[in-house]
Amino acid sequence: MSAQLIYSIKSATVRYKETPVFEGLDLNIHQGLRIALIGKNGAGKSTIMNIISGIKSLDEGEIWEDSGINIGYLGQEFSYKNTETVFDFIFSNISGDERDLHQYKVDIVAEALELDIKKNMETLSGGQLRRAGLARALVEEPEILLLDEPTNHLDLKVINWLEQYLNNYRGSLLCISHDKAFLENITNQVFWLDRGKLKVCPRGFKFFDEWSAMLLDQEARELKRRKQIVAQEVEWASRGVKARVKRNVRRLSKVKEMREQLKVDESSYRRATKQIAFEPIKDLDNQSKIIAEFYNVHKAFKENSKAVKILNSFNLRIKRGDRIGVIGENGSGKTTFLRLILKEINADRGSIKVRKNIEFSYFDQNRSDLKPSDSLKDFLAPSGGDYIEVRGKMRHIYGYLKDFMFDPSVALDKISTLSGGQKNRLKLSKILANPKSCLILDEPTNDLDMETLDMLKEILIGYKGTLLLVSHDRDFLDQTVTKILSFEGNGNIVQCIGGYSDYLSQKKSMKKNLEVGGKSTVAPNSGLDGINSELQKSKKLTYKLKYELDNLPGKIQKTEKDIETFSARLADPNFYNDDPEGFLVITQELEKAKTNLEYCEIRWLELEELSTS
């Protein structure tokens, strides 16, 4: 038995400057559904949200909703009074009679979203304002909850809490998000806005890629069949018709219509399946292996007269080609860590060595280099002209913008007219035009649509330089990084080889070991795997540690030779074809050797530092 219908749109048409966003659209929301609303930028996702919430009306069509239904909405933008407190803002859509019933929820939601309900709205940062808007939508507990990019500016801890909250939510949910893992975990249906039509996947977002690929394959086969029919008709028409009777004239007219419609549909299919294409970024630095080294670094800030530790006796070596994902709660020190590498701030104690002449490409999550009054063209070519250098080749700005899914007609528009996602795309286009040997990306995935995310993912996978990536997008981290640096708070930093899923597995294993009385293999303050806790307690080298220090250079030298041998073996193009099993074994041995080398090098740094202190 199907769930009760609570909201419906029939034969809807919405136009923007006489151009239809969609025509004849039907949409039904049933009780208890958790729906992912998917579509390219400009497809009309936010328009649908605004229609359901009552902000926008239809140009044509009908809307029906169940009597007494309540709709809550977290949009990209919302209004508030500067002088009202966060508590009053969250309660602003709830009538006086119901406030007592909802008051306890304010405390629960505000605490989970790390909001101080006594603060005035004007004192909140952009990320905190988004959290306040989310809190208001959740506390209302409407029958239909509309969420437009709810995970933006949330850290992973809060995202996990939000997933649990929404999975226990009794109402219906319609969500726009670029976070694939989030959508997979909370949805059981997908609305796909594709070229003005709404297509419904009866299963959750986890199955969307397979389902949409099947539909596009069917469309491709149908276009191929139609193309063959049109080709046959055109061949008939080209032979000429001796007797131009009415029947033949009508047939000629129909051939022309079929051919024109086929061109339109093929063009539409190409636009739907088009992806942002980008040439792979070549290896930019074949010289030094070491990018940066942290030695016994301390960093803290004062907040409300209380010292907040960011780094505490922190040691780390970043080597060329490292791909490090940086995660942690908001305020735990992720951006501070990046700013230390960029030398924008200094450590309180310890030393940070960054290789001379190293060049960084830095994506600042606050987009501080984007001037609202500049045009897109001004930003890409501040010195003027119509061309931009893209990794040694001159490209026309209009064509380059098109690579990043911008219509060339907007090249002279002001940056202030762009959405958050478009601003991120513009900033990425400039960074990737001339990427340096080290990419530092601080929350680049915020506001991006899935097509741009896929493009960025492919670029980073092929990037041969050093990558430092701060992100809360779990799927994105799993696809692009090989190490995780987790800022756990109070100066406690944990490192894990692998992606975010590997970090979760390690964390669960550590927790299990502690529960059964075991010992963690991770030193909490070093941020390094397998560092002996004896080192943290010792003030000078014991005989055992001195013996270990003396023998480490030999181990490092031997491991480096092993890596050279394994790498040379794998470079043989015939190796895999001749011995697939041997190829797999050598690949695994190479990874083990690299991990062992990193451990030995870091261990040597730790012991050497202790021996000279």
CA-to-CA distance for 487 and 489, rounded, in angstroms?
6
CA-to-CA distance for 98 and 87, rounded, in angstroms?
15
- pLDDT value at residue 3: 79
Contact partners, residue 265, CB within 8 Å, separation at least 6:
223, 226
pLDDT digits (tens, 9 = 90+) for 199-233: 999 999 999 988 988 888 888 888 888 888 877 77
The answer to whether 184 and 205 have CB atoms below 8 angstroms apart is: yes
Where the chain has pLDDT below 70, the residues are 1-2, 95-98, 100-101, 236-252, 254-255, 267-288, 304, 512-544, 606, 609-613
Beta carbons within 10 angstroms of residue 7's beta carbon: 20
Q: At what angle do helices 543-570 and 580-612 cross, to 10 degrees?
A: 150
Distance between terminal CA atoms of the chain? 74
Closest residue by Cα to residue 145 from 154, 132, 156, 135: 135
The answer to whether 193 and 44 have CB atoms below 8 angstroms apart is: yes
Contact partners, residue 365, CB within 8 Å, separation at least 6:
335, 442, 443, 444, 446, 470
| 246 phi-psi bin (left φ>0, alpha ψ -120 to 50, beta other) | alpha
Q: In this structure, what are the phi and psi dihedrals at residue 485, rounded to the nearest 5 degrees? A: -115, 110
- pLDDT value at residue 1: 47
Contact partners, residue 148, CB within 8 Å, separation at least 6:
45, 46, 49, 73, 74, 75, 76, 175, 176
- pLDDT value at residue 440: 93
The answer to whether 398 and 479 have CB atoms below 8 angstroms apart is: no
Beta carbons within 10 angstroms of residue 132's beta carbon: 23
Per-domain boundaries in the chain: 5-210, 213-273, 290-529, 534-612
Contact partners, residue 611, CB within 8 Å, separation at least 6:
541, 546, 549
pLDDT digits (tens, 9 = 90+) for 138-194: 888 889 999 998 988 788 888 999 999 999 988 999 999 989 999 999 999 999 998
The answer to whether 473 and 179 have CB atoms below 8 angstroms apart is: yes
CA-to-CA distance for 160 and 603, rounded, in angstroms?
34
Architecture per CATH, domain 290-529, reads as 3-Layer(aba) Sandwich (3.40)
Annotation: CATH topology of 534-612: Helix Hairpins (1.10.287)
- pLDDT value at residue 299: 92
Q: Which residue has the tokens 């009385």?
A: 517
- pLDDT value at residue 528: 40
Provide long-range contacts, Cβ within 8 A and 24+ apart, for 19-24.
20/196, 21/47, 21/196, 22/47, 22/193, 22/196, 22/197, 22/198, 23/196
The answer to whether 324 and 483 have CB atoms below 8 angstroms apart is: yes
Q: In this structure, what are the phi and psi dihedrals at residue 445, rounded to the nearest 5 degrees? A: -85, -10
Beta strands 290-303 and 349-354: pairing type? antiparallel
The dihedral formed by the CA atoms of 316, 322, 326 and 332, expressed in degrees to the nearest 10 = 20
- pLDDT value at residue 81: 86
Beta carbons within 10 angstroms of residue 408's beta carbon: 14
- 10 Å CB burial of residue 286 (0-12, 13-18, 19+) is exposed
pLDDT digits (tens, 9 = 90+) for 356-379: 888 898 988 777 788 889 999 999
CA-to-CA distance for 406 and 380, rounded, in angstroms?
13
Q: Where are the alpha helices (DSSP H) in 274-356?
A: 334-341
Annotation: CATH topology of 5-210: Rossmann fold (3.40.50)
Tell me if the pTM is above 0.75. no
Structure tokens belonging to residue 364: 């600042």
Beta carbons within 10 angstroms of residue 404's beta carbon: 17
- pLDDT value at residue 523: 42
**Matching fold, domains 290-529 and 534-612:** no
Classified as helix, coil or strand, 121 is helix
- pLDDT value at residue 279: 56
Helix (H) or strand (E) holding 492: strand 492-497
- pLDDT value at residue 204: 93
CA-to-CA distance for 261 and 227, rounded, in angstroms?
11
Q: Where are the alpha helices (DSSP H) in 391-468?
A: 397-403, 420-433, 450-462
Q: Where are the beta strands (DSSP E) in 304-432?
A: 306-319, 323-328, 349-354, 360-363, 387-390, 393-396
Q: Which residue has the tokens 């907007």?
A: 410
Structure tokens belonging to residue 458: 């492919």
The answer to whether 338 and 325 have CB atoms below 8 angstroms apart is: no
